């Protein structure tokens, strides 16, 4: 690693001003950033540590009944919460216990790895990503592999999830990394079903609208069985699986998520 300084601001306001410095970067749980720094793929001069900001840690419900999760809340805390079953289930299968004790929801959404789990939950729930500057709807937030609507220096302070009637996340594990080879998040709300797919597409997490329409008419695994799998064009094609294989998995995992939704 190149050397850098670690700053520990005492408030979100202090963190935002620390982030305005030259080559400053946010440090969440470090579970992605530290391996990146070790490979010298990033060379910040300052890391602004968010883990100790009590304003950004914790889970509660707002007046609209949404689950509000502080941006520096760990995967382990979300896994233990349980008030949104599909979301806690997803968090409980990220990495391993030690990764879940450090990794944070804000770090995962800021990183937007095309195979990460949380982007599927955020998009599949129509969540709102709250930053120090504004609120961003999940539909406008994910812009492609590792790309988001965040501006330079912007910090995810909170994520708000409407709680669905039924939900489930199914992850087909890539056996070496334990990330999703394909993961599908299904959430059934009073005003419609959302289906979000991670791991599959070259343009990152996305909604499978044909499945949403079929499930709006009939929320059952049979409705998915009757659909064609999405096209393999534009799906990730690598040594772990071809685009067509991933497209096939999208259909299989969606059917499983619907069958398991509770």
Partner 1 sequence: MTKVTLTVNGKTVSKSVEGRTLLSSLLREDLNLTGTHIGCDTSQCGACVVHVNGEAVKSCTMFAAEADGAEVKTIEGMANADGSLSVIQAAFQEHHGLQCGFCTPGMVMSAAALLKDNPKPSEVEIRAYLEGNLCRCTGYHNIVKAIMAASGQDVPAVAAE
Ligand X SMILES: Cc1cc2nc3c(=O)[nH]c(=O)nc-3n(C[C@H](O)[C@H](O)[C@H](O)COP(=O)(O)OP(=O)(O)OC[C@H]3O[C@@H](n4cnc5c(N)ncnc54)[C@H](O)[C@@H]3O)c2cc1C
Q: Which is nearer to partner 1, 102 or 248 (CB)?
A: 102
Question: Using CA atoms, how far apart are residues 196 and 123, in angstroms rounded to an integer?
Answer: 6
- Out of 9, 30, 144, 232, the residue judged to bind ligand X by CB under 6 A: 30
Of the residues 118, 142, 172, 208, which one makes contact with ligand X according to CB under 6 A: 118
Contact 153, 16 (CB under 8 A): yes
Among partner 1, ligand X, none, the one that 106 touches (CB under a kind-dependent 5 to 8 A) is ligand X
The phi-psi region of residue 65 (left if phi > 0; otherwise alpha if psi is between -120 and 50; otherwise beta) is: left
Closest distance to ligand X from the beta carbon of 187 (Å): 17
By CB under 6 A, name the one of 73, 88, 104, 125 that touches ligand X.
104
Under rule CB under 6 A, residue 71 binds ligand X: yes
Nearest Cα residue to 106 out of 116, 98, 96: 116
Nearer to partner 1, 34 or 143 (CB): 34
Residues 81-140 that bind partner 1 (CB under 8 A): 95-99, 101-102
Q: Is 174 in the site for partner 1 (CB under 8 A)?
A: no
Q: Is 207 helix (H, G, I), strand (E, B) or coil?
A: strand
Give me the sign of the Cα torsion angle 89, 95, 100, 105. Answer: negative
**Contact criterion met (CB below 8 Å) for 55 and 65:** no
**Separation between Cα atoms, residue 138 and residue 93, nearest integer Å:** 22
The span of 93-101, 205-213, 215-223, 239-247 binding ligand X (CB under 6 A) equals 93-101
- Cα-flanking dihedrals φ and ψ of residue 84, to 5°? -130, 95
Cβ-contact 161, 125 below 8 angstroms: yes
Residue 23 binds partner 1 (CB under 8 A): no
Contact between 50 and ligand X per CB under 6 A: yes
User: To the nearest 10°, the Cα dihedral for 50, 56, 59, 60?
Assistant: 180
Site for partner 1 in 35-74 (CB under 8 A): 35, 37-38, 47, 49, 51
Nearer of residues 110 and 257 to ligand X, judged by Cβ: 110
| Contacted by 9, from ligand X, partner 1, none: CB < 5 to 8 Å by type | none
| Among residues 12, 24, 27, 250, the one that binds ligand X under rule CB under 6 A | 27
């Amino acid at each position: 690693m190149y050397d850098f300084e670690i700053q520990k601001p005492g408030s979100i306001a202090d963190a935002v001003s620390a982030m305005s410095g030259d080559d400053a970067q946010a440090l969440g749980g470090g579970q992605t950033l530290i391996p990146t720094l070790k490979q010298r793929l990033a060379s910040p001069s300052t890391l602004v540590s968010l883990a100790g900001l009590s304003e950004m840690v914790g889970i509660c419900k707002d007046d609209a009944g949404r689950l509000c999760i502080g941006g520096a809340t760990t995967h382990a805390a979300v896994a233990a919460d349980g008030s949104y079953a599909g979301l806690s289930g997803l968090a409980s299968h990220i990495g391993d216990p030690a990764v879940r004790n450090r990794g944070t929801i804000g770090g995962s959404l800021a990183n937007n790895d095309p195979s990460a789990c949380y982007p599927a939950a955020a998009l599949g729930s129509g969540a709102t990503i709250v930053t120090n500057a504004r609120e961003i709807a999940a539909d406008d937030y994910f812009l492609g592999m590792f790309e988001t609507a965040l501006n330079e220096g912007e910090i995810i302070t909170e994520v708000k999830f409407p709680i669905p009637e039924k939900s489930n996340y199914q992850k087909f594990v890539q056996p070496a990394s334990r990330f999703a080879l394909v993961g599908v998040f299904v959430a059934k709300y009073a005003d419609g079903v959302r289906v979000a797919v991670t791991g599959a597409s070259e343009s990152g997490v996305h909604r499978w609208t044909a499945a949403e329409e079929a499930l709006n008419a009939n929320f059952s695994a049979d409705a998915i069985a009757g659909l064609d799998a999405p096209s393999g064009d534009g799906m990730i094609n690598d040594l772990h699986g071809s685009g067509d294989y991933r497209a096939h998995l999208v259909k299989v995992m969606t059917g499983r998520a619907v069958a398991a939704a509770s």
